[in-house]
Amino acid sequence: MTTRQLVDGPDLGDPWVAVLDSRVTEVITQMCQAHQPGQAWTARQLFAAVAATISHRGLPGGNGRHGAARQRLVCLAAVYGRYFRPDAAWTLTDADLGAGVLTWTHRCGTRLLDAPRTGHTSAALVTPGATAAARAGGPRLAGVRLLALTAPLRSALLTPRGQLEPLPDLHSLDLHSLDLNLPATTQLVAS
């Protein structure tokens, strides 16, 4: 996959995908706040969180699309909970539901932004907003995890220097020796 494909995917600007990104971020936030790290999320809990989110914020379009959207939100939130949810060393400190971004803070003070994405597997992960967030995150920001919930292996870490790197295993990341000044394997150009 080329950098161009990661930056300019077909879902960039699709209003339905933006709504799903926002709603899945809200569901993930509810689940993380209600359940301790390491505690598995059940389907019943996920469906309840999705129902609460939809009743609170709604979904655009007709009711025919809502059933499929509910199922999709449950599945995508379950992927986050299973593969991307940080362990007990991290605390969810902020959630920007409009932008679809979660802010996690490690007990040592390092921050990590999660940008769960719900679009098609060829969708853009790197957006100008993600690049700006990574660069403006401050000295304690490890980066922005661009999480392709429909294709988890496509997920990547966008560093504060604008470098796209393979997503490290969060549980094995040594935050005290993290060197964000390593040579880039891939450079991104923010537009």
Query: Mean pLDDT, the chain, as a whole number?
Result: 75
Which pLDDT belongs to residue 44? Answer: 93
Q: Mean per-residue pLDDT for 95-99?
A: 75
Which pLDDT belongs to residue 64? Answer: 57
Describe the crossing of helices 43-57 and 15-34 by its angle, rounded to 10 degrees.
Answer: 130
Q: Indicate whether 84 pLDDT > 60.
A: yes
Torsion sign, CA atoms 182, 114, 76, 79: positive
Which pLDDT belongs to residue 139? Answer: 77
Strand blocks (E) in the chain: 90-96, 101-106, 111-117, 141-148, 156-158, 164-166
Strand blocks (E) in 97-176: 101-106, 111-117, 141-148, 156-158, 164-166
Each residue's pLDDT tens digit, 113-168: 998 988 765 556 676 667 677 777 777 888 889 898 888 888 888 888 888 888 86
Each residue's pLDDT tens digit, 37-71: 878 899 999 999 998 888 777 776 555 567 778 88
CA 103, CA 59: separation in Å to the nearest integer? 24
**Sheet architecture: strand order including 90-96:** 90-96, 101-106, 111-117, 141-148, 156-158, 164-166
Domain coordinates of the chain in residue numbers? 12-172
Q: pLDDT-based confidence at 179, cuts 50/70/90? A: very low
Q: Indicate whether 171 pLDDT > 70.
A: no
Pairing of strands 141-148, 111-117: parallel
Q: Indicate whether 99 pLDDT > 50.
A: yes
